[in-house]
Amino acid sequence: MHERWLDERHHEHYYKLAKKLDYRSRASFKIMQIDDRFNIFKEGDSVVDLGAAPGGWLQVAKERVGESGKVIGVDLRPIKPMEGVTTILGDITDDNTMLKLLESFGGKADVVLSDMAPNIAGAYATDHARSIHLCMFAVDVCDRILKKDGKMVMKVFMGDMFPQLKRELEKRFQSVKVHSPDASRPTSSEVYVISKGFLAKTVVDLKPIEPQEKKKEFTKKGDLL
């Protein structure tokens, strides 16, 4: 009971702060706190944000990379227009969306962000598996678009498949750290993985990704067909 009360107070605090400071979501404070601690953004950086709606992280990224920076957000849900930010409506697990992202970005990114979350089923194992599935697509985006020495910040719901995901990240980055910012709810199973020093060793042939009418392997929610 006490834990729930603390959780609600915490939620309320960041909710009010977001309203007061004109941020689109409480999540803005998570990426601010992560950036303050891990130095993710630099002026002029190019940033890709996956799972960007309603746009709280986009606002913070844009503020921190400044006028000369480039920010693009992708989400299944529409994102209200934001000055200086490009958005793509689509599912990142869909090849068409991946192609759109590569085409509109037109170059390599300094930072890949992913705050993607599956629809919560309420069953711990299912939510974890779906979250890992989305994370692997975010890792794929890094392989395709991240510059050498680039950085990645990614949300994951903790569970028994996490060590496999971490190993995939350790193959690709010089440093991989797990962190829970103060703005995350104390009772949440979400953590953020901060990876730095992208090695750009993974050879990715961009050609096999062709636009497809239908996805074959997974549903939008990440369920195996």
Applying CB under 6 A, the residues found at the interface with ligand SAM are 24-25, 27-28, 51-57, 74-77, 91-93, 115-117, 134
Note if 155 is an active site residue.
Answer: yes
Q: Is 27 or 176 the residue whose CB approaches ligand SAM more closely?
A: 27
Residue type, 123: A
CB of 201 to ligand SAM, least distance (A): 26
Q: Is 100 or 197 the residue whose CB approaches ligand SAM more closely?
A: 100
Burial 190-213 (b: 16+ CB within 10 A, else e): bbbbbbbebebeeeeeeeeeeeee
From the list 155, 171, 207, 216, the catalytic residue is 155
CB of 137 to ligand SAM, least distance (A): 7
In contact, 113 and 89? CB cutoff 8 Å: no
Q: Is 17 or 117 the residue whose CB approaches ligand SAM more closely?
A: 117
Q: Is 24 or 172 the residue whose CB approaches ligand SAM more closely?
A: 24
- Token duo for residue 113: 């962000």
CB of 94 to ligand SAM, least distance (A): 8
CB of 75 to ligand SAM, least distance (A): 4
As annotated, the active-site residues are: 155
